[in-house]
Amino acid sequence: MKYQDHNDKPIGDIIYLTGLSGDTPISNYVIRGTEGDMLIDTGFAGTYNPLLKWIRENRFNITDIFLTHAHPDHDWNAARLKKTLGARIWLNRKDVTLIRNFSSQPQHPLDERFTKRVKKITFWTGTIVKSKAYQPDVILSGDDSETPRKYGYDFDIVELPGHTLGSMGILKGDTLYCGDAFVIFNGEPMLPVHATSLELMRASAERIRTIAPRYLACGHGVPVEFSGIEFSK
């Protein structure tokens, strides 16, 4: 798989690694702190070695792992990286029961175009495709400015429920790291193709519009400028 990162194509001051494969490329991010660095999401099957290599080559001191939500394409390597790096895992309390239990928050397609896709994802994640078990160390609840600063990070945690009930983002400076509250699908920015609550998903999209960051750093796709994005299907 070919990868692109912030050294190949700088986008603001975002530190990112994106695997350029499929219609929803998986992205990981790093935020620097005063006591260590934070990795946002952990990739999927086959991404552990490239991600760890990237972390080491850039000499990141990963002390924390922030999971935007507990779907396997985001927490697949959480247990392994926690062990390798000795990092704390952060997760919203509403997604704790979602770990290795995709069907606990059933997914609904954005529209009829994605019905078959969602059925396929639900089948595989309910049977074979399960992340290794892990225990979150920092359990979050609601918007939060205090916890990040307790651990040496200058950002705010923003709840963005819909894709999952516990979906979260990070607002740092002019960038919103939004997980799957918004995605880049086949190169086009759009709402996620499935959600556990379509109503909450659209409310979170409106919240993103209100925040109006300069950049959106999505869980899928290379970061994009927010200006001009249409929140349509």
pLDDT score recorded for residue 227? 81
How high is the pLDDT of residue 188? Answer: 86
Residue 227 lies in a domain: no
CATH code for position 104: 3.60.15.10
Q: Is residue 228 part of a domain?
A: no
Q: Is 231 among the domain residues?
A: no
Cα maximum dimension of the chain: 47
Contacts (Cβ under 8 Å, ≥6 apart) of 222: 4, 9, 11, 16, 18, 25, 27, 184
Identity of residue 70: A
pLDDT at 187 over 90: no
The whole-number pLDDT of residue 170 equals 98
CB 176 within 8 A of CB 158: yes
Asked if residue 229 is part of any domain, the answer here is no
Under the banding of pLDDT at 50, 70 and 90, the label for residue 229 is confident
SS3 30: strand
Asked whether residue 232 is domain-assigned, the answer is no
- Rounded Cα distance between 138 and 118, Å, is 30
Residue 233 maps to a domain: no
For residue 86, tell me if it sits in a domain.
yes
Average pLDDT over residues 200-210: 96
Q: Residues 6 or more apart from 120 whose CB is under 8 A from it?
A: none
Mean pLDDT of 203-225: 96
- Kindly state the average pLDDT of the residues 35-48: 97
Q: Supply φ then ψ for residue 191, to 5 degrees.
A: -65, 155
231 pLDDT exceeds 70?
no
The boundaries of the domain holding residue 49 are 3-222
pLDDT in tens, 59-116: 999 999 999 999 999 999 999 999 999 999 999 999 999 999 999 999 999 988 989 9
- Whether residue 79 lies inside any domain: the answer is yes
pLDDT score, position 128: 85
Query: Tokens 């490239």 correspond to what residue?
Result: 50
Domain count within the chain: 1
Question: Mean of the per-residue pLDDT values for the chain?
Answer: 95
Least confident of 35-44, 140-149, 185-194: 185-194
The mean per-residue pLDDT over the stretch 213-224 comes to 96
Q: Coil, helix or strand for 183?
A: strand
